[in-house]
Amino acid sequence: MKGLWISIFIFFGFLTNVFADEVILKTGEKLEGKIVEQTSKYIKMDPGVGLVMTYYTDDIDTIDGQTVQTAVPAAQPEAQPEAQPEPQPEAQPEAQPETQPESQPVAQPETQAVIPVVPVVVQRPSHTVYHSNQRYYSHTSNNSGKDILCALIFLGIGIFSFFRGLGVLRKKRMIESIPKSTVRGMAIGMVELAGKAKKVKSFQSPLTRTECAFYRYTIERYESSGKSGRWVLVSQGDSVVCPFGLEDGTGHILVAPKGAEFVMPADFTFTTGLGKPLPEDLIDFMEKNGVKYKALFGTYPLRFHEWFIKPDEDVFVVGTAQKTADQLKDIELIQPEVDIDVIIAKGDNSEIFIVSDESQTQVVKGFSWQSFAGIWGGSALSLAMLAYLLFRFGLWAKF
């Protein structure tokens, strides 16, 4: 879930650029972005999607509230002296003084109407401008395709998040559809139980040495690679081979947690850093289990997590009640009255098996947020990346 939220935050950071300039076209259309180049004939604007858009001043009304002055009259004196003096001396040498004052005022309005004409498609070696409904879409190829690769990666993340959200939503609805039962009144098949955890064998959690009925731990080491780095799992363990008991006031039953999905917040976390040396208990555990922690200078950056269920702690289980407890006959039970003919475990055809130290309400609420983030966040990310790829390949104007 944490990786999903990071993907969504990266996505929104990718889309939210700072729009510094406001341009209003003569058609009334309002544009926002950052002007990267401005001349008397056109402006180039970056709207924040990785493209550089070109707009001609003839189609612009205001920029940041200031009226745009067209530069057409300034170009007229350069074009007139070349076209007018040459034909007149040859055709009417005697009438030149009279025709020149009359022909110049007439020719000026005609050239003013022709100069603003803009070609529909203008192509340059690495620049293409598309014209559609008096708006100019400009695409400049100034990278090596890295943006396309990133867009495809985020598109895949969005699609994966969407389908994962659908899976979590289905799991949530299954939990809501299973009626809550008791140990005494349950039937063979899918059941939902809540009660107190009981120890079957006496043991301690490895990292904190806490008396518990179940534990799970992970140790990660930070490894750098160039300018980036990531946390790598170097050691993990759990007590899934040892079942624990569940008591709800109506009876006792064993829970074999192998293959379960554990919905539990971490009970212990520790990350090494400046002024945070490794505790002696963690050093002893790593030395006994062959976990490398010493670097050339000091220790590697390490991160520890541990989850456990204490005796008499509230526990919530959704699993399959089944008569397959033969492998548990040799376990010495603390409470002999525990019925080992029926256990709660992962069924052969069951889709869910959940063990949690939270209530049913908290578990369902957590799944609701995960499904919402996965479905809507994944959809938004996928659509945004698809739109970017259409812009990138110049296909957006066709829609």
Report the percent of the chain where pLDDT is more than 90: 34
Place of tokens 């700072």: 18
Report the distance separating Cα 43 and Cα 63, nearest Å: 10
The SS3 call for residue 271 is strand
pLDDT tens for each residue of 214-247? 999 999 999 888 788 899 999 999 999 999 999 9
Residue 192: pLDDT above 90? Answer: yes
Distances (CA, A) of 101 to 98, 104, 107, 110: 6, 6, 11, 16
- What is the C-alpha separation between 146 and 388, in angstroms, rounded? 13
pLDDT at 70: 63
- Alpha-carbon distance of 242 to 260, in angstroms, equals 13
Task: Note the pLDDT of residue 292.
Answer: 86
Percent of the chain with pLDDT over 70: 70
Give the pLDDT of residue 276: 83
**Quick one: pLDDT at residue 264?**
93
Asked whether 363 and 354 are in contact (CB, 8 A), the reply is: yes
User: 305 pLDDT exceeds 50?
Assistant: yes
- Between residues 214 and 21, which one has the greater pLDDT? 214
Residue of 313, 320, 328, 299 whose CA lies nearest to 359: 313
Count other C-beta atoms under 10 Å from residue 262's C-beta: 15
Q: Determine contact, residues 263/366, Cβ cutoff 8 Å.
A: yes
| 399 within 8 A of 30, measured Cβ to Cβ | no
3-state class percentages of the chain: helix first, strand second, coil last, to nearest 5: 35, 30, 35
CA dihedral 366, 371, 372, 376 (to 10 degrees): 160
| Residue among 72, 80, 78 nearest 106 (CA) | 80
Torsion of CA 256, 262, 266, 267, to 10 degrees: -30
The C-alpha atoms of residue 333 and residue 81 are separated, in whole angstroms, by 109
Q: Check residue 261 and give its pLDDT.
A: 92
Sheet with 268-271, strands from edge to edge, namely 228-238, 214-225, 302-309, 268-271
Indicate the pairing of strand 339-345 with strand 252-255: parallel
The string of pLDDT tens digits covering residues 327-384 is 454 444 444 444 567 899 998 877 789 999 999 899 999 999 999 999 999 999 999 9
* Res 324 pLDDT > 60: yes
CA distance 255 to 191: 12
Q: What is the pLDDT of residue 323?
A: 83
Can you tell me the mean pLDDT for 281-307? 88
Per the CB < 8 A criterion, the answer to whether 391 and 384 are in contact is no
Of 253 and 129, the structure prediction assigns the larger pLDDT to 253
The rounded mean pLDDT for the chain is: 76
pLDDT digits (tens, 9 = 90+) for 59-116: 888 887 788 776 544 444 444 444 444 445 444 444 444 444 444 444 444 444 444 4
| Residue-wise pLDDT tens digits, 193-210 | 999 999 988 889 999 999
Predicted confidence at residue 3, as pLDDT, reads 52
Q: Write a three-state SS string for 167-193.
A: HHHHHHHHHHHCCECCCCCCCCEEEEE
* Tokens coding 192: 């939902």
Q: What's the CA dihedral at 208, 210, 212, 215 to 10 degrees? A: 0
pLDDT computed for residue 398 by the predictor: 60
Q: Please provide residue 312's backbone torsions phi and psi, each rounded to the nearest 5 degrees.
A: 70, 15
Round to whole Å and give the CA distance between 276 and 278.
7
**Residue 54 vs residues 46, 49, 300: alpha-carbon distances, Å:** 9, 14, 52
Range of weakest confidence among 115-129, 147-161, 285-299:
115-129
pLDDT per position as a tens digit, 7-18: 544 444 444 444
